[in-house]
Structure 1
Amino acid sequence: MALCRRPGPWDDMMPTTSEAPRPRGTLSARPLSTPMSRKSERVIAGRYDLVRVIGKGGMASVFLADDAETGRQVAVKLLHAHLAADLDVRERFANEIRAIRRIDHPNVVRALDDGDHQHRPYLVLELVDGESMASYLRRSGPLPPDEALSLTRHAARGLAAMHAAGVVHRDVTPGNLLLVHVAGEPYAIKISDLGLASIAGHTDDLDSTLAGTTSYMAPELVVGEEPDHRADVYALGMVMFFALTGELPFTGRSPAEVYAHQLVSPAPPPSWLVDDLDPNIDRIVLTALRKDPAYRYATMNAMFQDIERALKLRAGTPNGVAATPPSDRYHPKTEEGRQLLERLVAAQA
């Protein structure tokens, strides 16, 4: 299926790229760092023998570890030493533990244990032998529609389980979706990194305007309003658009320009970039990317069911949302949000 950029009102917001898609390939393990040195630093809780760093973020490192009790390998996420005294960071780490402990689902990375090591909190997770969807897309380029739908179907199923447990992820991106092999399908998805998740009944102090990755943030997050599960619907619509086209619907020279697009620019249909794309897929993506949450899918399960209909795994055709918004522009609910929208839009004039 060929990419075919068509003239349209979205021309000034789409990125250009000269990089050709990389050949498709099999999943490959990420390169590992050098082994840990001193045993006192290496063994946690007398049980988890840290072998190598397999991932590193701003808050924590993730280690491949041997579990002495089970004989299995696990992933151990350990807060960086220089952040051990930062109460805000420790609360965010604790929030991730609370969130992931609520969920037991095959499409969500499973928590096995947690604790404190030398005044640094840690979280033990099942080891996922695969790569992120972001890495896969960098190698493969845009995916065939059925493959893109299959991957987002798994992600939608996992997110629906999270929402049923009262957890909103708030940072659904290809980098937080891990690919694993499953019988009968090329890959399944396991959702990871719940560090920005919100939990029903628990008040967090995380600044919601900072909660998320710029290109995947729902409009309500941009203006600092408290999001619900429909913010994850929006983000998964972004993931689906990117998987299908290899591009994002909104780009800019600065985060502020992207934020402005998230608030006031209608999303283009994926078919603007992908020739002969099934209109039902357009319907799913554009429903997920509505500015006003009231016009998106009401639940992640509704989006999951429409993806299954598009894959012919469920009877019928995708429904989307019947109601059409009067204008696809976000209308903040607070005065602070309205002022922020005005400043962002004015800055791009």
Structure 2
Amino acid sequence: MTTNDRPAVINDRYEMSRRIGRGGMADVFLGRDRLLDRQVAIKVLYPEFAVDPNFVERFRREAQAAANLSHPNIVNVYDWGRHAGTYFIAMEYVEGRTLADILRSFKRVTPKQAAEIATEVSAALAFAHEAGLVHRDIKPANILIGSNGQVKVADFGIARAMNSPTESNLTQAGAVMGTATYFSPEQAQGAQPDPRSDLYSLGIVMYEMVGGQPPFTGENPVSIAYKQVHDQPQPLNQLATDVPRAYEAIVAKLLAKDPQVRYTSAGALRDDLRRFRNGEQVLALAAAAGAARA
């Protein structure tokens, strides 16, 4: 038996060893796929959730949604199932660190590094959004940086299939999900998020990567959510004197309270980030200049 009396082997195929992470609904273990002789990460639903049919259904949908997303910047899902009352997902093991770990160690990264990370995250989101999925929980803990430098987005665990007829049965209308620090204003108000909500959350991550702290903090999720809706962030150049104006403009566009003012898609953001990295004029800066003249 492993930690918390979970089985050492699942379905005579997956050997579980040490725990490597914890999420809102599950533990994550390092494991080995005996059949294919490869390392995997195995997500195991917490026992208290395994008896709740609503959580089990959400867990099942996580596996199905993620398994349909085959992209170099998205963690691959290989298998899922039930064993001895335990629900599990076997997925790609990414050797490296989360962005959250990196920020804890170094506090911040350079604007160039931040733009490189955000470009790959936006590529993953563009692919998922085109497939009809919203991540809903973009944050540093769900962004993995492999030892080879490749960026992968993990945990589409609360992603919803947009326009799914069963969604209202699984998530109460107006329920606020995700992590308040990275909420979009519309999520903070209980509205159903859309792709532009993921872009706002990525804007929070981009702000934190360069500024060394997220734009909104508070004593509890409610106070943070209030600030997401009503407050403006401290100018990024007050936290990082070396931040380029173009980077600031991209982040400001992402953090617009009105979703209509944000980038129209993750693909549009990816393209603007590439312009920034190539030293070209970014559309966000041109738009900001035009608004200032108006």
Q: Normalization by structure 2: what TM-score?
A: 0.91
Deviations 1:236-273, CA, capped at 9 Å, x for gaps: 00000000011111122332221121111123331121
**SS at 1:241 equivalent:** helix
Q: C-alpha root-mean-square deviation of aligned residues, in Å?
A: 2.2
Residue type matched to 2:254 in 1?
Answer: A
Q: Please give the alpha-carbon distance, in whole angstroms, between the structure 1 residues aligned to 2:269 and 2:47.
A: 41
Q: Which residue of the other structure, out of 157, 163, 170, is the alignment partner of 2:129?
A: 163
Which residue is equivalent to 1:206? 171
Q: Please give the alpha-carbon distance, in whole angstroms, between the structure 2 residues aligned to 1:95 and 1:318.
A: 38
Structure 1 residue 123, shift from structure 2 partner: 0.7
Deviations 1:294-325, CA, capped at 9 Å, x for gaps: 00001011111111111117xx311028389x
Structure 1 residue 58, shift from structure 2 partner: 3.6
Q: Please give the alpha-carbon distance, in whole angstroms, between the structure 1 residues aligned to 2:74 and 2:61.
A: 16
Q: Normalization by structure 1: what TM-score?
A: 0.77
CA contact 1:269–1:286 (8 Å) conserved in 2: no
CA contact 2:184–2:200 (8 Å) conserved in 1: yes
Pairing 1:164-183 to 2, within 5 Å after superposition:
164-182=130-148
Q: Which residue of the other structure, out of 138, 148, 158, is the alignment partner of 1:196?
A: 158
Structure 1 residue 107, shift from structure 2 partner: 0.5
Structure 1 residue 290, shift from structure 2 partner: 0.3
Q: Please give the alpha-carbon distance, in whole angstroms, between the structure 1 residues aligned to 2:87 and 2:203.
A: 34
Change (3 A) 1:69 1:38: farther
**SS at 1:159 equivalent:** helix
Pairing 1:49–2:11 present: no
Report the more deviating stretch, 168-177 or 252-261: 252-261
Pairing 1:289–2:251 present: no
Structure 1 residue 38, shift from structure 2 partner: 12
Q: Please give the alpha-carbon distance, in whole angstroms, between the structure 1 residues aligned to 2:41 and 2:127.
A: 22
Aligned residues: 285
**SS at 1:225 equivalent:** coil
Q: Which has the higher helix share?
A: 2
Pairing 1:97–2:59 present: no
Percent identity over paired residues: 34
Q: Please give the alpha-carbon distance, in whole angstroms, between the structure 2 residues aligned to 1:136 and 1:62.
A: 19
Deviations 1:146-167, CA, capped at 9 Å, x for gaps: 1111111111111111111111
Report the more deviating stretch, 196-205 or 101-110: 196-205
Which residue is equivalent to 1:322? 287
Which residue is equivalent to 2:43? 77
Structure number with higher relative contact order (C-alpha < 8 Å, ≥ 6 residues apart): 1
Residue type matched to 1:194 in 2?
Answer: F
Structure 1 residue 71, shift from structure 2 partner: 1.1
Pairing 1:309–2:271 present: no
Which residue is equivalent to 2:53? 87
Residue type matched to 1:73 in 2?
Answer: Q
Change (3 A) 1:84 1:307: same
**SS at 2:225 equivalent:** helix
CA contact 1:180–1:189 (8 Å) conserved in 2: yes
Which residue is equivalent to 1:246? 212
Q: Please give the alpha-carbon distance, in whole angstroms, between the structure 2 residues aligned to 1:58 and 1:102.
A: 22
Q: Please give the alpha-carbon distance, in whole angstroms, between the structure 1 residues aligned to 2:155 and 2:186.
A: 21
**SS at 1:41 equivalent:** coil
Q: Please give the alpha-carbon distance, in whole angstroms, between the structure 1 residues aligned to 2:24 and 2:190.
A: 22
Q: Please give the alpha-carbon distance, in whole angstroms, between the structure 2 residues aligned to 1:38 and 1:286.
A: 45
Q: Please give the alpha-carbon distance, in whole angstroms, between the structure 1 residues aligned to 2:85 and 2:222.
A: 38
Q: Please give the alpha-carbon distance, in whole angstroms, between the structure 2 residues aligned to 1:311 and 1:160.
A: 19
Change (3 A) 1:100 1:37: closer
Residue type matched to 1:103 in 2?
Answer: L
**SS at 1:297 equivalent:** coil
Structure 1 residue 109, shift from structure 2 partner: 0.3
Deviations 1:206-230, CA, capped at 9 Å, x for gaps: 2453211001100111111111100
Which residue is equivalent to 1:258? 224
Which residue is equivalent to 1:234? 200
Gaps of at least 5 residues in structure 2 are none
**SS at 2:71 equivalent:** coil
Change (3 A) 1:254 1:61: closer
Q: Please give the alpha-carbon distance, in whole angstroms, between the structure 1 residues aligned to 2:220 and 2:28.
A: 30
Change (3 A) 1:144 1:201: same
Q: Please give the alpha-carbon distance, in whole angstroms, between the structure 1 residues aligned to 2:271 and 2:249.
A: 13
Q: Please give the alpha-carbon distance, in whole angstroms, between the structure 1 residues aligned to 2:213 and 2:7.
A: 42
Gaps of at least 5 residues in structure 1 are 1-34, 327-349
